Chain A
Amino acid sequence: MNSQEDIDGSVAPSAAVITKRTAEIVVGIVVAAFALLAIVSNYKLGAGWADDGPQPGYFPMRMGIAIFLASLVVLVQALRKNDRSAFLEQAQAKLVAIVLLPLIVYIAAVQFIGIYVASALFIGIFMCLVGKFSWYRSALTGVIVSLVLFWIFEIMFTVPLPKGPLEQLFGY
């Protein structure tokens, strides 16, 4: 299976971090594991037939079996197709990380400083570092977006969003 030389590097603008084949296999295995989890969990719950009809695990366990079988097909197809083109190139991975990592920090921050302050910081810092805007324009945009959101959610629709110490200071 590995006899073929990897020639796709010449096509791609930057080296591949992961090939499509690897990605297909990894996802296939993860999906299969998910299916096994569903099968085992529902089997323990009771996936058979009771006097009053199917037990609660009956339906989900069969779905789990279907997923498991289909993931085997996907794995076989991935091995036979042997697609060495890039699933993710280095340059792409960098760009995705630029969005994904700050997003994770942002979501974690929401718990501590509330969604409005976190959003202002997220937008401001992202603009400043990624978009190379001057710091005062970034800060201004972040604050304005947060204020608009505050006005829409807390005042117009009275939908409470997570708030932190700053909002408490103002009595919200």
Chain B
Amino acid sequence: MDDFNALLNGFATVLSWHNGGLMIVGILLGIVVGVLPGLGGPNGVAILLPLTFTMNPTSAIILLSCIYWGALFGGAITSILFNIPGEAWSVATTFDGYPLAQQGRAGEALTSAFTGSFIGALVGVLMITFLAPLVAKFALRFGPPEFFAVYFLTFASFIGMGKESKAKIVIAMCIGFVLAAVGLDTISGQLRMTFGAPQLLRGFDFLVAVIGLFGISEILITIEEGLAFRGKNGKIDLKVVFKTWATMPRHFATLLRSSAIGCWMGITPGGATAASFMGYGVAKKFARDQDSFGKGNIAGVLAPETAAHAAGTSALLPMLALGIPGSATAAVLLGGLMIWGLQPGPLLFVEQKDFVWGLIASMYLGNLSGLIIVLATVPLFAAILRIPFSIIAPAILVVCAIGAFTVHNAQFDIWLMLAFGIVGYVFKKLDYPLAPLVLALVLGDRAEDAFRQSMLASRGGLGIFWSNGLVGTIMTLAVAGLGWSLLGSLRERFFPRAAVTESAGGGATQPQG
């Protein structure tokens, strides 16, 4: 009941003119970010984060999370109208979305994509509303060993659930950890891996890394394909919307399955991209008319969009309740919390009630207004893509450079962004995952602190990680999961299966062939 009142207070916070306005601005910006290749959810949020340093944290998180919702919606527009996934998680939407648009049913496809997104998000938010406070309450008992165990579980499940080669996931993640360690060591006060360079004293800021890894690299990959946007017309009138909504009950089972998949993949850091592919695959498996998938089946649009949005939303649950983000964008938002002076973790629900419930309320309202806005403005955003790439590309690069600079007002960071961009470009083309790198960069220090604090307490005995039932269970789960996945990859080597899913799990805009 307490929580319910807090949620109502949250609604009141969001519905003020100031925050409501920020919500709409955030969604519009988010759709732009989702539509344009080269600007993605994590990257868009990272670029705008420095502008929120002076804002009140609640307003700031409303703005930034709404950019995230907008980006989730926007990705579908380009997938359906242009056959270009604006985001990695909307790749699966192109399979049936573009054929539908070719048949002149773009309006239907867009409406169902947005509706699916909305339903997925709604399920995710409902779950957060009821589950997050419980998880946080439970986690209040956690000490450093428990936290380290949860971090360990997170990273183990990244390795376990990633579709990329296990060795590449390990490399990406551990590079993140090493980069996180560069600079001043907070516990001993010593300098690590700075090699006498004063620019490295600060360490690597994850915002700069995100802008390079997700922004610059995306532009390079996009230009490589020599893009010429040739899109279908996307006009939606109310008649189409209502007609499509009338068919929704028929897809009830698909929506439910995709939502469940999305929620699961969001909490465990599988991510929206993996969820969308899984949602699509499962919908196809259960369908009676499997052959129509890929040729323009509405369920083939609904399923991945619902799953992606459910995953994107529920990725915020572990971020809010435990301080462990479930996706790259959630990791950026978590970084935002630290910058605004909030301590992420279960205490957030106790100490920053207004903030947490304001954010949760803004998820409901942001997704609802997002659905309405996106339905009304599709033609406008489709028109953005008709702007020639020779204008958009340098403009995006300029925005990225400014974003990298504003993090610390350092010109060195622009060079760093470029370096990360090239690394990201090469890694993406070779199927190295980028999300674990960013996550490790954000969480590296915290995971290390938790580990070292546990070691201080136990005088160096690893036994502390099995000292009580709770931490022991988490730790055993993590070790078992890690062992299982490594065994699995060994088995794969000796009994290789057809690599159908391999290309699907890779980057958004992998060149075909």
Contact = CB atoms under 8 A, between A and B. Distances in A.
Interface of A: 11-12, 20, 23-24, 27, 31, 34, 37-38, 41-42, 45, 49, 52-57, 59-60, 63-64, 66-67, 70-71, 73-74, 77, 85, 87-88, 91-92, 95-96, 98-100, 102-104, 106-107, 110-111, 115, 119, 122-123, 126-127, 130-133, 141, 145, 149, 153, 157, 159-162
B390 interface: yes
Given A70-B167, A70-B168, A126-B393, A56 B398 contact: no
Contacts of B409: 160
A107 B401 contact: yes
Nearest 6 pairs between A and B by C-beta? A131-B390, A73-B167, A60-B181, A70-B170, A70-B167, A126-B394
Interface stretch (B121-129, B183-191, B290-298, B360-368): B183-191
A99 B393 contact: yes
B398 A149 contact: yes
A149 B411 CA distance: 17
Contacts of B187: 56
A11 B513 contact: yes
A57 B192 contact: yes
Interface stretch (B89-97, B235-243, B450-458): B450-458
Given A59-B448, A110-B401, 14 more contacts: A23-B429, A41-B195, A45-B190, A53-B452, A54-B451, A59-B177, A66-B170, A66-B174, A73-B167, A100-B220, A104-B418, A115-B398, A115-B402, A131-B390
Contact of A53 (B220, B429, B460): B460
Given A57-B192, A70-B174, A107-B415, A98 B398 contact: no
Of B50, B175, B216, B511, most A-chain CB atoms within 10 Å: B175
A126 B389 CA distance: 10
A77 B489 CA distance: 12
A64 to B, nearest CB: 6
Contacts, number: 161
B178 A123 contact: no
B165 A77 contact: yes
Interface in B170-208: 170-171, 174-175, 177-178, 181, 185, 187-188, 190, 192-193, 195
A51 B429 CA distance: 45
A149 B418 contact: no
Nearest to A71: B171
Contacts of A88: 429
